[in-house]
């Protein structure tokens, strides 16, 4: 779809909705936080004389809407918070459709929506135990804490379509309906596609950078006496990527590459596929408020594959690391008797399969503001690499305790601890949440991931448990992290300040070096970060700002920009009492740093010292609009290109999105 069709489609939708708004009655806006916007009022008619029940005049009045469709989250049920959420129909932040900006620019991708992505700041593992370690695309898949379990009085659907410019597209569809008053069934669909940047059509036969599918069905059921409740979903996630490896410099500087369109990617025919099926179930029985029984079940199968048929040429050019034989001579790895015929000397192929069954069973309850949980968690997993004829089957057992106390002034304090019975993994988390002050600490000891322990293909080989390889992983200890943090949110009239500070100490940090081989730091690493947020609103004008200053000590193996800043200036408008507009300018800046590169053959980010990612002010102009139940946005991204510079790099060798125009819509239907 070209630019002209974008404009015609957008204004066609806009005009049709304005006309509908003029002839329709007052439609609701749900749980709006802006007093200018009216709230939803479901209307019923008065029963006629002689009738025995009130009727609903669905021909002239709005019967169903955001207030008649509610949802809840598994986390709230799990924590005994009986909380229902109404559908958000405020203007929100629809223009922040890509996964970097919707996460406040705290992630680094490869320039396109849906490409490999990682946190900018150090992030400790979320779970203890032996995890898989393939996380480059995990942010794009549905998570248990994100699933909305509905209770609807009418069929509800939610359609989101975004064409973000430069052939980036996002489609999300949600359909929910109650079978009866106790049982709901829902469907979620997500599709993400994007094309390569800075690569000319003549230098690449395939301009498609990636394609991602998610399909999920979920259900929730509660008995009439509310003693038993079940939440469950099944999800299929399928990610396919045509890996570029970055832009081929060919003797030119990266600054010059940004100005040209006749570029070629380093990898011409490499491809990744990451596919998994996941079944998740949570159910509980509430005998008494102070004594309840619960269980969480998860089952997943996953296969991760990578192939580069041009391995010899890309090894010769230096993209893949040089291995050394027993005589110290540079060479590629050679096949041996343990390798299947999938692996050839002229092609790099990587494949790993993973399956896991996990259950967490325990008791919980609450009494006069005090909540508790005790659980046993068991994981049974299998991991195999058919090229190495390697497989492992293992089980891990954990015990955990969670305690929480609510006080009369709505403050709370909680603590949780979990311990691996057959190893040295543990997790400890304590926090106090006050009215305007939060303070807490975390301590974790986590096992190396399976990918960090074992890797085998014609370009990368290591094994934590054997010294027979020329390259061994060198991992001997768990990684341990200790963090203390504090944040506040004092309010002074229309001004809200959000100061924060956190200190993290990391022992035996596991990382991937400049050759993308796994290593473990021998010295401790310290990370010190101070932040300040500022929110201010006056009338129709508002601004939101966030600044982080970061420094590190110890080995230079965690690269973080010293300065990180976000800023938004926005203004609210109301046109013809029907068209609500939230428009403004968003700015983002990171200072110079050697951002991690990406190695698709092992699906990991790694250290690099070749390209300095220079600081660049990214500026986006946006307008979010709402007409009745339809929300739309237009966005002019990177408007400063050509003014503040010729562009920027999102990751080494990968250009950030250039100046683009995009728009999208969200359509809510309640009947």
Q: What is the pLDDT of residues 457-475, one digit of tens each?
A: 878 888 877 654 444 556 7
Residue 54 pLDDT grade (very low, low, confident, very high; cuts 50, 70, 90): very low
Mean pLDDT for the stretch of residues 80-90:
84
Of residues 630, 621, 627, 617, the one with CA closest to residue 590 = 617
The pLDDT of residue 151 is above 50: yes
pLDDT of residue 333: 56
pLDDT of residue 318: 83
* pLDDT tens digit sequence for 245-296: 988 766 666 776 666 666 778 888 899 999 999 999 999 999 888 999 999 9
Q: What are the sequence ranges of the domains in the chain?
A: 3-669
570 - beta bridge partners?
542, 584
Of residues 569, 567, 559, 619, the one with CA closest to residue 591 = 559
Mean pLDDT for the stretch of residues 113-141:
94
Locate the DSSP E strands across 223-270: 228-241
pLDDT of residue 458: 79
**Spatial separation of the C-alpha atoms in residues 625 and 622, rounded to whole Å:** 10
pLDDT of residue 6: 42
Mean pLDDT for the stretch of residues 544-567:
97
Mean pLDDT for the stretch of residues 339-348:
58
**Spatial separation of the C-alpha atoms in residues 156 and 177, rounded to whole Å:** 6
Look up residue 248 and give its two tokens. Answer: 């081929």
pLDDT of residue 576: 85
The CA R_g of the chain, rounded to the nearest whole Å, is: 27
Residue 38 pLDDT grade (very low, low, confident, very high; cuts 50, 70, 90): very low
pLDDT of residue 26: 35
Q: Which fold has domain 3-669?
A: Maltoporin; Chain A (2.40.170)
With beta carbons less than 8 A apart as the criterion, state whether 352 and 387 touch: no
**Spatial separation of the C-alpha atoms in residues 544 and 536, rounded to whole Å:** 7
For 166, 218, 303, 532, 633, the CA distances from 134, given in Å and listed in that order, are 28, 25, 10, 33, 34
pLDDT of residue 238: 96
């Amino acid at each position: 779809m070209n630019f002209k069709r974008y404009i015609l489609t957008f204004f066609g939708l806009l005009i049709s909705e304005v006309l509908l708004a003029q002839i329709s009655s007052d439609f609701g806006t749900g749980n709006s936080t802006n007093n200018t916007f009216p709230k939803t009022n479901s209307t019923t008619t008065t029963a006629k004389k002689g009738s025995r029940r009130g009727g609903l005049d669905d021909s002239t009045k709005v019967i169903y809407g955001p207030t008649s469709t509610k949802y809840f989250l598994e986390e709230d049920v799990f924590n005994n918070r009986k909380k229902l959420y109404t559908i958000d129909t405020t203007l929100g932040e629809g223009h922040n459709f890509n996964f970097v900006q919707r996460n406040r620019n705290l992630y680094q991708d490869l320039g396109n929506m849906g490409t490999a992505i990682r946190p900018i700041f150090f992030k400790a593992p979320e779970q203890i135990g032996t995890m898989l370690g393939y996380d480059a695309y995990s942010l794009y898949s549905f998570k248990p804490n994100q699933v909305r379990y509905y209770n609807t009085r009418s069929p509800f659907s939610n359609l989101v379509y975004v064409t973000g410019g430069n052939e980036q597209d996002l489609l999300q569809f949600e359909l929910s309906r109650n079978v009866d008053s106790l049982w709901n069934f829902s469907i979620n669909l997500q599709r993400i596609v994007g094309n390569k940047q800075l690569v000319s059509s003549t230098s690449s036969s395939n301009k498609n950078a990636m394609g991602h599918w998610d399909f999920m069905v979920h259900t929730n059921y509660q008995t009439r006496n509310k003693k038993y409740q079940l939440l469950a979903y099944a999800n299929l996630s399928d990610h396919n990527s045509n890996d570029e490896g970055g832009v081929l410099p060919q003797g030119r500087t990266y600054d010059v590459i940004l100005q040209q369109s006749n570029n070629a990617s380093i990898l011409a025919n490499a491809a990744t596929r990451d596919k998994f099926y996941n079944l998740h179930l949570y159910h509980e029985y509430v005998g008494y408020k102070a004594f309840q029984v619960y269980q969480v079940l998860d089952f997943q199968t996953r296969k991760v594959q990578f192939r580069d048929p041009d391995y010899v040429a890309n090894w010769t050019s230096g993209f893949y690391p040089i291995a050394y034989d027993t005589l110290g001579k540079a060479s590629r790895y050679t096949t041996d008797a343990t390798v299947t015929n999938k692996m050839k000397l002229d092609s790099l192929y990587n494949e790993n399969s993973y399956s896991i069954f996990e259950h967490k069973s325990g008791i919980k309850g609450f009494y006069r503001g005090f909540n508790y949980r005790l659980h046993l968690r068991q994981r049974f997993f299998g991991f195999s690499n058919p090229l190495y004829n390697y497989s492992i089957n293992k089980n891990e057992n954990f015990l955990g305790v969670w305690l929480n106390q609510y006080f009369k002034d709505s403050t709370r304090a909680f603590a949780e601890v979990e311990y691996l019975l057959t190893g040295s993994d543990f997790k400890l988390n304590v926090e106090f949440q006050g009215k305007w002050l939060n303070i807490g600490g975390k301590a974790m000891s986590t096992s190396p991931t399976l990918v960090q322990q074992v890797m085998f293909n014609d370009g990368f080989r290591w094994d934590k448990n054997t010294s027979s390889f020329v390259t061994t992983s060198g991992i001997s200890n768990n990684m341990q992290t200790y963090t203390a943090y504090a944040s506040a949110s004092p309010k002074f009239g229309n001004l809200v300040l959000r100061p924060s500070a956190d200190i993290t100490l990391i022992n035996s940090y596991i990382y991937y070096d400049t050759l993308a081989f796994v290593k473990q730091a021998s010295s401790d690493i310290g990370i010190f970060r101070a932040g300040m947020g500022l929110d201010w609103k006056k009338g129709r004008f508002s601004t939101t700002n966030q600044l982080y200053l970061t420094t590190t000590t110890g080995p230079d193996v965690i690269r973080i920009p010293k300065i990180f800043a976000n800023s938004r200036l926005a203004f609210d408008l109301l046109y013809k009492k029907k068209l609500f507009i939230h428009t403004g300018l968003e700015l983002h800046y990171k200072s110079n740093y050697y951002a991690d590169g990406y190695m698709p053959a092992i699906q990991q980010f790694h250290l690099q010292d070749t390209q300095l990612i220079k600081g660049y002010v990214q500026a986006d102009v946006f307008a979010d609009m709402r007409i009745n139940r339809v929300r739309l946005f237009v966005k002019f991204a990177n408007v400063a290109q050509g003014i503040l510079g010729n562009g920027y790099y999102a990751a080494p060798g990968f250009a950030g999105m250039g100046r683009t125009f995009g728009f999208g819509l969200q359509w809510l239907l309640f009947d």
